[in-house]
Structure 1
Amino acid sequence: MHIRDLPYPDPGRPDVRSGPRFLFWLGRNQLGGQVKAALWGLVHMAALVSFPIAIGFGVQAVVDRSGSRLAMAGALMVGLTVLTALGDAMLHRAAVTNWITAAARVQQLLARKAVELGSALTRKVAAGEVVAVSTGDVEKIGWFVEALSRFTAAAITTVAVCVALILYQPALGAVVAVGVPALALAVLPLLPRAARRADEQREKAGRATELASDTVAGLRVLRGIGGEELFLGRYRHASQEVRIAAVRSARMWALIAAVQVALPGLLLIGVVWYGASLARDGRIEVGELVTVYSAVTFLLFPLRHFEEIAMAYSFSRPSARRAARVLALRRSSPDSKGAAAVNGGERGEVQEATGPLGGDLYDPASGMLAPSGLLTAVVCGDPDAAGRLADRLGGHPTHDGPGDGDPGGAPSALLGGVALDKVPLTTARAAVLVQDKDPVLLSGALAELLDVPRSGEVTAEKALEAAQCGDVLDALAQASAAEADDAGPMRTRITERGRSLSGGQRQRLALARSLVTDPEVLVLDEPTSAVDSHTEARIADGLRGLRAGRTTIVLTSSPLLLDRADRVVFVPDGEAAGVGTHRELLGTDPAYRAVVTRETEDGAAVRRAGRGTGPAGHGLKDIGRIEEQIEESA
């Protein structure tokens, strides 16, 4: 695989049973690149460690006063220099290619998983964790993949040199053959502690980064309540914890580096002392002593790769474990019938769709039914429960524990009797579109924002009109004029995440983007929470008119939207407890009325008391009537 061929047509199905298995899977998929890099590494290191032969040959030629042999030694050194430079350059090229292609493969896998899970991903894993995996962890995994070929070449070269030294000079060769493996294994007891400290530093750094991001995002609110100093103090404390953890981690790695310097030095001293005594006794020639000494000196270079691979594996193993944990998240429920593990259990069995999906949308976990072609409003009361319901309606089963309103392992919804998590993802997405309560606007022109897969029945103008985006178009037109650009509002650039727009404007543009797709089923989670009541009423009318004959589910507690719905389903505590129109439920279900009107128990008692008779009750009775009229008009 060459860099110019990226991205991969198919990054494959990873083995996500554990971090080491995931690393092994990556290496197995790069076998050709690893072999190529290892061969170039052998050329580089074999030429490098062959220098002692040329040096010893030249020294002995000087001792024997042989000019021809000295010239041969010089020519040999020139040839070894050329091979060393060539091997080093090609090794670096091949190893970096392995790094980049491995990182690209992991990032493609993460992107595919994000597309597969959609908004459910951040409900299963923190968004900061996903970002950390796709940046820092990918880099550490790539480091290990890149270092693996160099370590392989270094290990083969080290073994070959030790064997050659034993054959060349058995006495000194035996000392080297025993000492080198001891040096390579000396740091292993220190690595687990170093890895734990590195993980601790990463966790503290992640918390500090998350705190900083939250502080920046809420800076306007913090200034309004005078909370800057409080959060500044918290961030200072978190940053000091990161500094302390970084110092502790650096100390351990410094100790490992010191061991890697001190022990080879002791080995070199021992070889020189023992070799000098052998040369003094006449048991070896001076050239042989120089050769062995030079070989030991050059062996220190491949030994550094043993330290590097140990560090790379210590860092990459937890990174691979985190990546595997994210990639192991599945759209299908774990207890679904017919689910089968593939390549470590990343995906489950799906059914081939025989045609376009349609019909009533039913959620088995809550009992909520949205008839085909109607506007159904759902009132949950709990925003988290509404988010989980939206996930299931979009074909993503929830795996929440007991006590949070959803049964553990709740399956996805059924559309026309077909489980959405049992059909191909593209089929489910084509049938049901879910707009999250916090939709994201990508940077680009408004025309690009609305350039999404669509049926063609709903134009961008109709969608913008239904979502009441007139003031947004006016603002974009003014921005276009201010920039001396006559492109118009549709070509005006929207900044990243729509930061140049207000919260209500961003929400309405996201609603227009969902409406223009014209899906068979549209699920909206609190689509008007950031707009005023007058605009909300017009959006409710526009939504009802534009989606006539299409299935639409709105998760909301807004009386304005509820009053425009064909039917309302009340889902407290994760189960459907009431079905009817908004006005029917207001009059018959006290729990529903409390959620919709935000009525407290004390307020309900006062209202009930105001409906009594007598002089003292007339004022409260009139207030109760007024409240009911407001509710009914809403």
Structure 2
Amino acid sequence: MKTGGAAILRRALVRNRVRLGIGTVLVCLHQVAETLVPIAIGVIVDRAVATGDTSALVVWLCALALLFVVLTTAWRFGARFLVLVMQNEGHRLRMEVAHRILDPRGVRTDLRAGELLSVSSTDADRSAFIADIVPRAASALTAAVGSAVALLLIDVPLGLAVLVGTPVILGLLRRAAPLITRRATDQQAAVARASGMATDLVSGLRPLRGIGAEDAASQRYRSASRDALDATLHTARSSAVFTGVSMTVSALLAVGIAGFAGWFALEGRITIGELITVVGLSQFFIEPLGVLAGLPGSLALTRASADRVALVLDAEPLLSAGSGLIPAGSELSLSGVSYRSLTALDLRVGSGELLGVVAYRPQDAEALAALLSGQVPPERYEGEVTVGGVRLSDADRGHARRTVLVEPHNGDLFSGTVVSNVTAGRPDAPEAEVQAALRASAAVDVIDAHPDGLDHEVTDRGASLSGGQRQRVALARALMRRSPVLVLHDPTTAVDAVTEHMIAGGIADSRHRDSAGSGQTTILLTSSPALLSVTERVVVLDEGTVVAEGTHAQLAADDAHYRRAVLR
């Protein structure tokens, strides 16, 4: 169901209505007490100071002290309620966006990873500011109305000046809100693009250095950052002009009221105490009027962030919900599949088979891995992909992800420890299984190389580990899942030949030779002779289709092209 930015803001107000209502009432009470302060001082001057009545002075000073107690208490507890609402709503929005991004069906959006991060953090928090804008508007209106009523009781023209001038000023300033909204939206989009590019550069820094493309990448980021800076400055200038004009107009209205009050006092129309009250109210009135004048700008920024949050929450799922069917086995079949570089590909993998796939063109292996991951919408490819007799597009999404696990060539690690990465998805796994996965992936060396062992700290994306260590930890994590179908795409490109042979034997033992691995299917997308030597069958892809099939030994002996591609 579509929500839109306005609906997100309305929902935030509705689902926090109790705390928001209490907080709003308390801050409005605070403004009423603020309004009564200059009135009380005027009364003290007229009824105690001017008359010399000491008892009246004591009584009114006590009343003034009580007024300040109410004022500070109302603000303290009102602000506490409102801050709690903003923090809770920000948390809820962050969780909703994260849940939508992590939906097994995927999310159909053009936003990149860095932009999604910006939406799930900055924009979600800024959308929650609606819980601050509404109480500020209510309290400022309360102060404006209270001041106008007090001025009407003192002198009708003074009160009418406030009652008429305030709506006129706010109406004129509100016309600038759409412009600020557009500029704020453009600025946030530019900043998100720069953040997304920065995320991509950090994650791909090593490959960029390898091909000597650091300068080109830096230039692209510099250009994106400059665009973000220009958009930010443009928005800041617009907001500054808006704020300056609104504050100036508000101050002029307050000064005008104070000036007329002084004139009326000279003519004897109001008393000295009433003059003090009017001057005090005119000075106090500047703040709530300034708040009201600045609300369109604040609301525009909040609405812009809510619109960006809605881009994610309203995005259609990348995949359909499926029919809820559950695969009954681990056999895999591709019939007449055409996707990217694949052309009418037919492939059968039996239950419990250890299959090697050699792709002479890297794009064929990448396309096959992407297709088997289940993250490709069925409308983007032709043919049929089935697992356990069930079409992958029809299978229950959660069960499909548990049935087929595709470990990409560049698997990411998470910040935490080695053991938390290995047991991700199975936090309660027995110690014996963890050790078995570490041995099978030759990751025991990673543990032995660090004093903390399994508790060795892993920073974001595994930056604290070498390339080979990251690859082995990611492989151990994949083996720990014990998925019925496991697809490994070049899992040993960053390790030496000796370690590669150990890993090949470990994969075969853990998934096909141990009794616990009975019925598990494994597909190795690789050109590594060590890995291919442990497979039961090898399928060769070229030009997007199967061009050869046999055992590794047979193909190495009979196919010259295969020998050139595989044997090193």
TM superposition score category, shorter chain reference = 0.7 to 0.9
Q: Which residue of 2 aligns with 1:345?
A: none
Write the distance in 2 (CA, Å) between the matches of 1:558 and 1:460: 28
Give the number of equivalent residue pairs.
549
91-100 or 150-159, which deviates more: 150-159
Instruction: Show the counterpart of 1:142.
Output: 128
Partner of 1:22: 8
Give yes or no for the alignment of 1:473 onto 2:444: yes
Instruction: Output the CA distance in 2 between the equivalents of 1:543 and 1:424.
Output: 28
Runs of 5+ unmatched residues, structure 2: 339-345, 513-517
C-alpha offsets along residues 38-68 of structure 1, whole Å, 9 cap, x if unaligned? 1211121111112232122123224455444
Q: Please give the secondary structure, in 2, of the residue aligned with 1:547.
A: helix
1:462 to 412, 421, 436: 436
Residue 397 of structure 1 contacts residue 412 of structure 1 at CA under 8 Å; is this kept in 2? no
Q: What amino acid sits opposite 2:436 in the alignment? A: K
On the 8 A contact 2:114/2:198 being kept in 1, the answer is no
- The answer to whether structure 1 residue 375 and structure 2 residue 354 are counterparts is yes
Pair 1:556 & 2:521 matched: no
Q: Is residue 381–residue 557 contact of structure 1 (8 Å, CA) maintained in 2?
A: no
Contact 2:446 2:469 in 1 (8 A): no
Q: Aligned partner of 2:68: which letter?
A: T
In the aligned structure 1, how far is the partner of 2:284 from the partner of 2:360? 71
The residue aligned with 1:398 is 377
Aligned to 1:438: 410
Q: Structure 1 residue 113 and structure 2 residue 84: aligned?
A: no
**Aligned positions of 1:133-532 closer than 5 A:** 133-163=119-149, 165-166=151-152, 169-213=155-199, 236-307=222-293, 309-329=295-315, 331=317, 333=319, 336=320, 351=324, 357-362=328-333, 366=338, 370-377=349-356, 390=369, 393-398=372-377, 406-407=380-381, 414-418=386-390, 426-453=398-425, 459-467=433-441, 469=442, 472-480=443-451, 489-531=453-495
Provide closer, same or farther for how the CA distance between residues 463 and 66 of structure 1 changes in structure 2, counting only shifts above 3 A.
same
**Displacement of 1:462:** 3.2
State the Cα distance separating 1:87 from its structure 2 match: 1.4
Check whether the contact 1:375–1:567 (CA below 8 A) recurs between aligned residues.
no
Question: What is the TM-score of this pair, normalised by structure 2?
Answer: 0.81
Q: Does 1:32 align with 2:1?
A: no
> Distance in 1 between the 2:391 and 2:92 partners?
31
Checking the alignment, whether the CA contact within 8 Å between 2:437 and 2:480 is kept in structure 1 is yes
Please tell me the root mean square deviation across aligned C-alpha atoms, in Å: 4.1
Report the AA paired with residue 464 of structure 1. L
Q: TM-score, normalised by structure 1?
A: 0.73
In structure 1, C-alpha distance between the alignment counterparts of 2:29 and 2:188, rounded to whole Å: 37
State yes or no: 1:76 paired with 2:63. Answer: yes
User: How many Å separate the matches in 1 of 2:501 and 2:393?
Assistant: 35
Return the alpha-carbon distance in structure 1 between the equivalents of residues 473 and 108 of structure 2: 22
Deviations 1:271-298 (A, max 9, x none): 2344344445544444444434433332
Report which structure shows greater RCO (CA 8 Å, sep ≥6): 2
Shift of 1:311: 3.2
CA contact (8 A) 2:416 2:457 kept: yes
User: Structure 1 residues 414 and 286 mapped into 2: Cα distance closer, same or farther (>3 Å)?
Assistant: farther
Letter of the 1:513 partner, please give it.
R
Matching residue's letter, 2:24: A
Cα distance change of structure 1 residues 16 and 524 upon mapping to structure 2, 3 Å threshold: farther
Identity %: 30
Q: Match for residue 483 of structure 1?
A: none
Corresponding residue SS for 2:128: helix
How big is the shift at 1:29?
1.6
CA distance in 2, matches of 1:222, 1:430: 34
User: Match for 1:100 among 72, 87, 94?
Assistant: 87
Query: Partner of 1:592 in structure 2?
Result: none
Q: Per-residue CA shift, 1:573-616, capped at 9, x if unaligned?
A: 6xxx44862579x99xxxxxxxxx9xxxxxxxxxxxxxxxxxxx
**CA distance, structure 1, for counterparts of residue 561 and residue 510 of structure 2:** 31
Aligned residue for 1:116, secondary structure, equals coil
Once the two structures are overlaid, the 10-residue window that deviates more, 216-225 or 104-113, is 216-225
The residue aligned with 1:568 is 539
Partners of 2:347 and 2:147 in 1: CA distance: 73
Tell whether the 8 Å contact from 1:99 to 1:143 is kept in structure 2 after alignment: yes
Question: Given that residues 360 and 565 in structure 2 are in contact (C-alpha distance below 8 angstroms), is that contact kept between their aligned partners in structure 1?
Answer: no
Which secondary structure does the structure 1 equivalent of 2:249 belong to? helix
Q: Which string of whole-angstrom CA distances, capped at 9 and with x for unpartnered residues, describes residues 323-375 of structure 1?
A: 22223445563xx5xxxxxxxxxxx6874x7x785353456865765443323
Q: 1:110 aligns to what SS in structure 2?
A: helix
Corresponding residue SS for 2:488: strand
Query: Partners of 2:13 and 2:406 in 1: how far apart?
Result: 38
SS at match of 2:445: helix
The more displaced of 562-571 and 306-315 is 562-571
